[in-house]
Amino acid sequence: MSAVDISRSERLYSGRLPAYAPYLVLLTAFAASGLLALLLGWGLVAFAIVGGLIAVVALPAWSAVVENRRAATDRLVTSVIWAAFAVTLVPLVWLVWVVISKGIPAITAAFLTHDMVQRLDPVTGKLEAGGGLEHALIGTLLVTLGAIVISVPIGLFTAIYLVEYGKNNRVGRIITFLVDVMTGIPSIVAGLFALALFTLIFGVGTRMGLMGSIALSLLMIPTVVRSAEEMMRLVPNDLREASYALGVPKWRTIVKVVIPTALGGIITGVVLAISRVIGETAPLLVAVGAAEAVNTNLVNGRMMTLPVFIMTQYLTATPEGFARAWGGALILIAIVMVLNLVARVISMIFAPKTGR
């Protein structure tokens, strides 16, 4: 190594901050911010903002003195990224905390196993008031299941055509454009489409769960198409060519090679599409309506869904209604969380094995 390289190395690594430097700066910054908050009477928000700003400025300044300009710039960018992550995390944590704290008191066995219809107790002979969301929970699961049955095959077959058959033809470009347009459709427009379609077929005033499934499927299909298309494009062409070289026809290559390789990403995309539509209120309110009793028939009568249940209970403007609305919101978030966990597990199980 030449003398020039040695001197350059000494300049680059002449001094290093200790590994605990970021934690020390963070502790000192929030201690200083806490002192200012006590002296000036600041609130929690001002305390957090000032402490974060002090930490973001102090660590790069210390690094510039002890280390060098390059290290100081690196620590500045790292501090800004961590600060942005913390700012993004705050509303999420706050939302989850509020929903859990206000929703848990409403979660009881009766809340989960009763609908809103008053019934006569066969044991005591007294009239029991409703007050549960069993009908909304069942309705949400059935309507969403109907949307999955409609949208997943359509979205998957469309993605297969775009990737395997329509790469450079006019029809493929037109379908891609229409999928992009469908991605931006307002949810209430999907509900109005389902309402108009069934009104033309069955007459004015028609409401049924299938209408909600069709409305939600219009919102799900673009997400399923896009996610499945991107996952199948990531499958190496070498796998396809190897299959063709062995004499396997194209349709069987798609079924046995392409789809299994991309299955984990496809399932994740489907779950993201479900999470996107399961909380929609406007299309379900327009197309399905509301009901107070359990209805398990998608093609007969109105059905209650969780988003509509939350809205209607909130509109009652009573303490009981607010409690039921928060309980329904907690159940809805729990369903989305469970779906995401199941998708992670399934994607891990069906992910292609890379080990030898």
What CATH number does the domain containing 203 carry? 1.10.3720.10
Alpha helical stretches, state H, 41-68:
44-66
Contact 228, 159 (CB under 8 A): yes
Decide if 339 is inside a domain: yes
Residues 222 and 85 in one domain: no
Residues 202 and 316 in one domain: yes
Residue with tokens 């005033």: 205
Contact 290, 308 (CB under 8 A): yes
Residues 91 and 176 in one domain: no
- For residues 293-319, give the mean pLDDT: 87
Decide if 106 is inside a domain: no
Residue 41 backbone phi and psi in degrees, to 5: 75, 35
Pairing of strands 127-128, 119-120: antiparallel
The separation between CA 304 and the C-alpha centre of its own chain, rounded to angstroms, equals 22
Decide if 116 is inside a domain: no
- For residues 3-25, give the mean pLDDT: 65
Residues 30 and 162 in one domain: no
Contact 307, 282 (CB under 8 A): no
Domain boundary among 82, 98, 114: 98
- State how far the Cα of 278 lies from the Cα of 344, in Å rounded to an integer: 18
The per-residue pLDDT for range 65-104, each reduced to its tens digit, is 888 888 888 989 999 999 999 889 988 899 889 999 998 9
Q: Say how many CA atoms lie within 13 Å of 4 toward its Cβ.
A: 0
Residues 27 and 160 in one domain: no
Decide if 355 is inside a domain: no
Residues 47 and 147 in one domain: no
Decide if 330 is inside a domain: yes
Identify the helix (H) or strand (E) that includes residue 83.
Answer: helix 69-103
Residue with tokens 């066969």: 122
Residue 220 backbone phi and psi in degrees, to 5: -80, -35
Residue with tokens 């209604």: 321
In total, how many domains does the chain have?
Answer: 2
Residue 53 backbone phi and psi in degrees, to 5: -65, -40
Please check the confidence at residue 8 and state whether its pLDDT lies above 50: no
Tokens matching residue 123: 């044991």
User: 120: pLDDT confidence band, cut at 50, 70 and 90?
Assistant: low
User: 128: pLDDT confidence band, cut at 50, 70 and 90?
Assistant: low
Residues 89 and 143 in one domain: no
Domain boundary among 81, 98, 115: 98
Decide if 122 is inside a domain: no
Residue with tokens 């994607």: 347
- State how far the Cα of 280 lies from the Cα of 236, in Å rounded to an integer: 37
Residues 81 and 181 in one domain: no
pLDDT value for 151: 93
Helices 170-183 and 209-233: angle between axes, nearest 10 degrees: 120
Decide if 243 is inside a domain: yes
Residues 245 and 333 in one domain: yes
Residues 213 and 67 in one domain: no
Structural domain for 237, as ranges: 134-350
- State how far the Cα of 41 lies from the Cα of 23, in Å rounded to an integer: 26
The per-residue pLDDT for range 236-290, each reduced to its tens digit, is 888 888 988 888 898 899 988 898 888 888 888 888 888 888 888 888 888 888 8
User: 342: pLDDT confidence band, cut at 50, 70 and 90?
Assistant: confident
Q: What count of other Cβ atoms lies within 10 Å of the Cβ of residue 326?
A: 23
- State how far the Cα of 134 lies from the Cα of 116, in Å rounded to an integer: 9
CA geometry: angle 305, 306, 310, nearest 5 deg: 120
- For residues 210-234, give the mean pLDDT: 91
Residues 58 and 161 in one domain: no
- State how far the Cα of 111 lies from the Cα of 133, in Å rounded to an integer: 6
- Could you please report the per-residue DSSP string of 299-318? TSS----HHHHHHHHHHT-S
Decide if 127 is inside a domain: no
Tokens matching residue 48: 């957090």
CA dist 352 → 13, 22, 235, 261, 336 (Å): 43, 39, 11, 6, 26
pLDDT value for 214: 92
Q: What count of other Cβ atoms lies within 10 Å of the Cβ of residue 50?
A: 19
Domain boundary among 51, 81, 98: 98
Residue 119 backbone phi and psi in degrees, to 5: -130, 160
- State how far the Cα of 322 lies from the Cα of 159, in Å rounded to an integer: 43
Please check the confidence at residue 122 and state whether its pLDDT lies above 90: no
